Structure 1
Amino acid sequence: MTSSTLRRTPLLGVAGLVVVVDQGTKLLASSQLADGRIVPLLPGLLNGQLVHNTGAAFSLLRGSVQWLGVLSLAVTAGLLIWVMRHRAAPFWQGMAVAFLLGGTLGNGIDRWRIGHVIDFLALVPINFPIFNPADVAINLAVLCFFIDLWSSRGSKAPS
């Protein structure tokens, strides 16, 4: 497998796209689901249901908006510093950083702007916490980090 790289500009573009999709869909969900209704998005799989989350993933640390806002800011700053110090990154590592940056920034904007994170995607077949596109991006980042770790494992010479 050849090792491709992801340069800084496309990496920031992916992160920016995540933020735009996240914030745009949250705005739409807030206006369309404010009355408490549940709307099938993909019937039998995914519903739209508005929830205001003052915690982190799975509503952990509920009510810790300020602390989580500071954490979002710190992670975003750390990732931006990392991006500025690296002109390019291995593809999967770069995608992981891009998704993590976009997801962290998307949820961080909510925390700082309105005091909670807007969640609106509800899985129908299973009882799973309601989430949003930034959460999806953060989970994709974890997957990309694992792919990067797995694919780089075979390319390193044994010591």
Structure 2
Amino acid sequence: MIYYLLALFIIVVDQLTKWLVVRNMEVGESINVIDGFFYLTSHRNTGAAWGMLEGQMWLFYIVTLVVIAGILYYYHKHAKGNKLFSASLMVLLGGAVGNFIDRIFRQEVVDFLQFTFFNFIFNIADAALTIGVIMLFLQMILEEVQEKRKKNGKHSTLNTGK
């Protein structure tokens, strides 16, 4: 249950920050937060990452619902007792639902975080999706190391929560 609170927290922060951007900034407006490094730039995206598949909302609805169902399935069937796996799935869920809410109610996703070393603008949900994927990769690596140690007869000192 605690992991669902993590997803809910991400969704609330994502939607609150997007609401603040929509309410207080014009599309295209940019606020210099850290000169030459970080800006708040109001942007709208009707596609996926980097504007791919722009305007294909029906496809995003279907894919997002399948992804959410998959996350919930894996959480309930495979993540019990595994803290990192549970947390990574709920971080992914928060990100997926955050952008899904935008697509349903706005028919576009509100982006606003812009770092000069990236060539794109993103939001809290996008960041959660990226972090969730990184966490899943870390989980897989830790499990692989643990499996190899077991196979070699060594006691594992790594704890992936299992």
TM-score when scaled to structure 2?
Answer: 0.84
Say yes or no: does 1:158 pair with 2:151: yes
Q: Which residue does the alignment assign to 2:65? A: 73
Q: Which residue does the alignment assign to 2:119? A: 128
Q: Which residue does the alignment assign to 1:34? A: 26
Higher relative contact order (CA 8 A, sep 6+): 1
Q: Percent identity?
A: 29
TM-score when scaled to structure 1?
Answer: 0.86
In structure 1, C-alpha distance between the alignment counterparts of 2:144 and 2:28, rounded to whole Å: 48
Secondary structure of the corresponding residue to residue 88 of structure 1: coil
In structure 1, stretches of 5+ residues that fail to align are 1-8
In structure 2, stretches of 5+ residues that fail to align are 153-162
**Alpha-carbon shift at residue 87 of structure 1 (Å):** 6.8
**Alpha-carbon shift at residue 65 of structure 1 (Å):** 1.4
CA distance 1:58–1:36, change in 2 (3 Å): closer
1:2-151 equivalence runs, <5 A = 9-34=1-26, 36-85=28-77, 88-124=80-116, 126-151=117-142
CA root-mean-square deviation? 1.8
Higher-Rg structure is 2
Write the deviation string for residues 16-52 of structure 1: whole angstroms up to 9, x where unpaired: 1110010000000111212642112333321111111
Does the 8 Å contact 1:66/1:111 carry over to 2? no
CA distance 1:21–1:94, change in 2 (3 Å): same
